[in-house]
Amino acid sequence: MAEKKEKKLVAADEKTKTAAKEVEKNMKQSKPVGDSAPLRIGAIICWIFALLCEVGAYLILVGKFNLKFLPSMWQIIIMLVLDLILIIVGASFWKKANHISPASEKNKLKFWLWNNMGVLVTVICFVPFLVLLLLNKDLDKKTKGILCAVAVVAMLLAGAGSYDYNPVSEEMQKAAVQTLGDETVYWAPFGKVYHTHKDCQALNQSDTLTYGTVAEAIAANRSRLCAFCARKDEITGVATDE
């Protein structure tokens, strides 16, 4: 069996910082769980500006707006790229907020829509422009082809970057908190799971671990308990990575 590495522990909250000093003198502190409202507001602001970029691209397309120092095609491409960036940034805020304050999964459709608002915004911010672009008869085929390709690629990238591949439900969060209570859990810099044992075999390759409460782990996008730790502690009723 491979020799287990000594871990550098990183506190996830001020409450655990004092206890961490007993484990290691030099520690860092990650951000606490926080409030989801500012994140949602930030997401909405980003998405409003993304929608304005779509409107700007259309106005340039029909000649209602022109920056003059750049060809119209490049102005539109810049607007589409800004649209893409703003959608993904907004989606990252929204997904973070959902891990702090998750929705219930009782209604599956509502749960999916809530967790993937960024995907819906992507459709709103690209599909109308694409339709109007295709219907435009004033553009030459080459320019229209280039703009269509850029818009489609940007839309696909925005959709992929906005989709929540690791959604958390209110029920999942409550089950984990009720089962583990205030027990300290650990998670690596990368991955989607948290651990109840810092010497878990799945952490052998991780030199630095963050630790904190289950709520903090879920807020950090570690939504499931490691299956090895669950079996070792005989924990049931909590979502695992199996």
The predicted-structure confidence for 110-157, as pLDDT tens digits, reads as follows: 999 999 999 999 999 999 999 999 999 888 899 999 999 999 999 999
At 3-26, the pLDDT tens digits run 555 566 666 654 444 434 443 433
Of residues 166, 42, 158, the one with CA closest to residue 99: 166
pTM of the model: 0.77
Half-sphere exposure of 204 (CA within 13 A, CB side): 7
DSSP state, 90?
Answer: H
Half-sphere exposure of 12 (CA within 13 A, CB side): 24
C-beta of residue 60 within 8 angstroms of C-beta of residue 66: yes
Per-residue model confidence (pLDDT) at position 68: 78
Give me the residues of the chain with pLDDT under 50, please. Answer: 1-2, 14-32
CA distance linking residue 24 with residue 40, whole number of Å: 36
Give the whole-angstrom CA distance, residue 102 versus residue 225.
Answer: 17
- Kindly state the tokens that stand for 45: 């602001």
Distance CA(224)–CA(217), nearest Å, equals: 9
How far, in Å, CA of 116 to CA of 90, rounded? 11
